[in-house]
């Protein structure tokens, strides 16, 4: 097994808002190995984007990484001095004195890592392309800066990359502006940009979510081709279980800031070990076969500001028992699995030994029957 390219250990990121502290990412750990596509999947607000941004310390105010460690190719991107993890004052993540001595400076990350070693592709391509410059010009400049090539050579490479990601008449389209490209083509340009420096890792945050399904198909195929060719690793952020099944090697499922299950893609679907993953899979209509009745997840996602005590899924979990309201299980290896498979659920009694079996089932939204989706408190008039 190859050594991990990226290692994330107990990463925590918070937002200090007027309403309270949002624990957007609350102690997640995962790895990405060379040549792997690793999925980060979950519903809206689960913390996927914040997790992705935290890896390169790109969290925006009022967000702040407050704990954990991120290492990439032996270099430390996030790390705190002993006992100072929560040390927090007004200064943002760019204040380098927050970090341990061996942690790369913001400047070093910008100069050496971002774009060159780790590229990011965002959901909305318009956000990443400057509307007043031509597509080719932006790509050329990016290559010039990051690979130290001459303008002429960078231009050639830019055209080559545009062609490689399937932009028709690349030479002619080089001088077009972003608005003259369709959404799918803009996303191709961003992929070209992401791959231009042959990075080892690409963080892709819902890069196909805004696209039509046929265009998404084209992009996923393109990514698979390029990945095979350059052996790039991907952290693929998505809410779409279909996309996960299609391209990921391993998957992390997030719920309310935590990773609740971590498995090879086949195990995730065929040996599902967390009730949330199971519920997620049961709630989706299938394109490949008729489903008589959808089985929705009961209730609504609780606020990240005050997540439920105990297991965060206990308010909606069909298997919840009293013990689940008290203990918040961490994501532990399941012993019977042949391959590494982790889950954060007390049902796995032999792993957690928390007394789940003797504990009584509880009343929650999942037990509520027909009026799922109704909020709990109801008397405010």
Nearest distance from C-beta of residue 168 to ligand ATP, angstroms: 31
Cα(209)–Cα(200) distance, integer angstroms: 23
* Window of 3-11, 285-293, 339-347, 370-378 that interacts with ligand SF4 by CB under 6 A: 339-347
Non-local (6+) Cβ contacts of 67 within 8 A are 10, 11, 12, 27, 80, 85, 86
Non-local (6+) Cβ contacts of 277 within 8 A are 253, 260, 261, 268
Three-state secondary structure of 294-345? CCCCCCCCCCCCCCCCCCCCCCCCCCCEHHHHCCCCCCEECCCCCCCCEECC
Applying CB under 6 A, does 188 fall inside the site for ligand ATP? no
Here's the x/- map for ligand SF4, 253-292, by CB under 6 A: it reads as ----------------------x-----------------
Query: Please, which of residues 336-375 interact with ligand ATP by CB under 6 A?
Result: none
Nearest distance from C-beta of residue 60 to other proteins, angstroms: 22
Among 49, 187, 218, 328, binds ligand ATP (CB under 6 A): 49
Among 11, 37, 38, 48, binds ligand ATP (CB under 6 A): 48
Nearest distance from C-beta of residue 47 to ligand SF4, angstroms: 17
Applying CB under 6 A, does 194 fall inside the site for ligand ATP? no
Among 324, 334, 351, 366, binds ligand SF4 (CB under 6 A): 324
The owner of tokens 């195929």 is 221
* Window of 16-24, 95-103, 156-164, 369-377 that interacts with ligand ATP by CB under 6 A: 16-24
Applying CB under 6 A, does 346 fall inside the site for ligand SF4? yes
**Across the strands, what pairs with 37?**
234
Residues 339-372 as b/e (b if ≥16 CB within 10 A, e otherwise) read eebbbbbbbbeebbebebeebeebebbbeeeeee
Cα(307)–Cα(149) distance, integer angstroms: 50
Applying CB under 6 A, does 345 fall inside the site for ligand SF4? yes
Applying CB under 6 A, does 307 fall inside the site for ligand ATP? no
Among 37, 41, 211, 317, binds ligand SF4 (CB under 6 A): 317
In the complex, the residues that contact other proteins under the rule CB under 8 A are 43-44, 163, 168-172, 179-180, 182-185, 212-218, 220-221, 239-246, 265-266, 268-270, 279-281, 283-288, 290-291, 293-297, 300-301, 370-375, 378-381
The owner of tokens 């698979």 is 224
Count residues near ligand ATP (CB under 6 A). Answer: 17
Which of 41, 63, 54 lies closest to 6, judged by CA?
Answer: 54
CB nearer to Mg ion: give 49 or 272: 49
Non-local (6+) Cβ contacts of 279 within 8 A are 295, 297, 316, 317, 318
DSSP letter string, 118-185: EEEE-S-HHHHS-TTS-HHHHHHHHHHHHHT--HHHHHHHHHHHHHHTT-TTHHHHTT--GGGS-HHH
Cα(208)–Cα(184) distance, integer angstroms: 8
CB nearer to ligand SF4: give 47 or 52: 47
Q: Which does 314 bind (CB under 5 to 8 A by kind): other proteins, ligand SF4, ligand ATP, none?
A: ligand SF4
Nearest distance from C-beta of residue 48 to ligand ATP, angstroms: 3
Cα(304)–Cα(65) distance, integer angstroms: 16
Other beta carbons less than 10 A from residue 297's beta carbon: 22
Applying CB under 6 A, does 312 fall inside the site for ligand ATP? no
* Window of 195-203, 208-216, 224-232, 309-317 that interacts with ligand SF4 by CB under 6 A: 309-317
Residue ranges that bind ligand SF4, judged by CB under 6 A: 275, 311, 313-314, 317, 319-320, 324, 329, 345-347
Residue ranges that bind ligand ATP, judged by CB under 6 A: 15, 17, 22, 24, 42, 44-50, 60, 62-63, 239, 304
């Amino acid at each position: 097994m190859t050594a991990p390219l990226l290692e994330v250990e107990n990463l925590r990121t918070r937002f200090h808002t007027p309403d309270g502290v949002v624990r957007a990412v609350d102690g997640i750990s995962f790895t990405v190995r060379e040549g792997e596509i690793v999925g980060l999947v979950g519903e809206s607000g689960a913390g996927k984007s914040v997790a992705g941004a935290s890896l390169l310390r790109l969290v925006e105010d009022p967000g702040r990484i407050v704990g954990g460690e991120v290492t990439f190719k032996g270099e430390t991107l996030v790390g705190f001095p002993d006992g100072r993890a929560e040390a927090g004052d007004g200064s943002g993540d760019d204040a380098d004195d927050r970090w341990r001595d061996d942690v790369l400076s913001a400047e070093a990350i910008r100069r050496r890592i971002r774009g060159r070693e780790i590229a990011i592709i965002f959901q909305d391509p318009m956000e990443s392309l400057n509307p007043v410059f031509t597509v080719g010009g932006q790509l050329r400049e990016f290559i010039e800066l990051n690979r130290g090539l001459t303008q002429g050579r960078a231009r050639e490479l830019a055209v080559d990359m545009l062609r490689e990601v399937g932009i028709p008449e690349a030479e002619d389209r080089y001088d077009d502006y972003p608005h003259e490209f369709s959404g799918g083509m803009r996303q191709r340009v961003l992929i070209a940009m992401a791959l231009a420096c042959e990075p080892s890792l690409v963080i892709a945050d819902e890069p196909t979510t805004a696209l039509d399904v046929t265009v998404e198909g084209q992009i996923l195929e393109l990514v698979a081709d390029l990945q095979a060719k350059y052996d790039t690793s991907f952290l693929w952020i998505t809410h779409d279980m279909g996309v996960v099944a299609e391209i990921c090697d391993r998957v992390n499922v997030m719920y309310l800031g935590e990773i609740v299950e971590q498995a090879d893609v086949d195990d995730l679907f065929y040996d599902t070990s967390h009730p949330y993953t199971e519920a997620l899979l049961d709630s989706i209509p299938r394109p490949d076969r008729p489903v008589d009745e959808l089985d929705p997840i009961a209730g609504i996602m609780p606020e990240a500001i005050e997540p439920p005590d105990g297991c965060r899924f206990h308010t909606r979990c069909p298997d919840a028992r009293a013990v689940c309201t008290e203990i918040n299980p961490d994501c532990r290896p399941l012993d019977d699995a042949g391959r590494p498979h982790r889950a954060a659920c007390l049902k796995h009694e032999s792993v957690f030994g928390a007394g789940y079996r003797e504990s009584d089932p509880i009343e929650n939204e999942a037990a509520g029957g027909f009026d799922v989706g109704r909020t709990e408190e109801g008397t405010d008039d």
